[in-house]
Homo-oligomer: A and B are copies of this chain.
Amino acid sequence: MHLSLASLAKPILYGYFRSSCSWRVRIAFALKGIEYDQVPVNLIQDGGQQHTKQFESVNPMKQVPAVKIDGITLCQSLAVIQYIDETRPGPRLLPADPKTRAQVRMISDLIASGIQPVQNLSVLQKKGSEKEQWAQHFINQGFQALEPILKQTAGKYCVGDEISMADTCLVPQVYNAERFKVDLEQFPTIKRLNQTLLEMEAFKVSHPSRQPDTPPELLA
């Protein structure tokens, strides 16, 4: 087997401590036990470092996360997580059974396509003063759908008793919900899963309060 230099290098994650999509990838790296380097991209400072020419050449979408791995650059968190899962040992983040995999992808996409994009920074910046109300509305609406689905699929984790990509999506979305003061008491399954997952080491070390670019006043 021929290993190129690129594939021997540690992956590089371009991320931001508070970006929920970056956190998904950090959780996946931690669950798989993969060491990586972080390059912080401050989404607020200087009008947003994601808009620099330098970062645009990494990800033309001007969003985090982006990952350099095995000689390629990938953006879109779920594409990154599935690539890691397919190429690295460690716990599977997508289950072997096709129906169960489909449920994991459905829940992941419900969050990654159905909730997060509508409350992300670039959309909120266009909303101006109604920001919090807008984010709250869409997270709430998404959780109304997610709760009955999780009630059916969840065991100890989002889908049965095995950790999966769905869990890497859930916890960062709950973190956003809390920032925008969504009332979690309406969603007992989401709340219970989030609490269980936050106890796990992989979710702790990847938490926004413990990153190289976390501002001192937010450090845990």
Contact = CB atoms under 8 A, between A and B. Distances in A.
A98 interface: yes
A129 B123 CA distance: 17
Given A106-B79, A109-B79, A86 B101 contact: yes
Nearest to A123: B118
A146 B80 CA distance: 17
Interface string A86-113: 1100000000001101110110111011
B62 A106 contact: no
A110 B75 contact: yes
A60 B109 contact: no
Given A102-B83, A118-B123, A110 B76 contact: yes
The 4 closest A-B pairs by CB, nearest first: A79-B105, A76-B109, A61-B145, A60-B145
Interface of A: 59-63, 70, 72, 74-76, 78-80, 82-83, 86-87, 98-99, 101-103, 105-106, 108-110, 112-114, 116-118, 122-123, 126, 134, 137-138, 141-142, 144-149
A135 to B, nearest CB: 12
A106 to B, nearest CB: 4
Contacts of A148: 60
Nearest to A87: B98
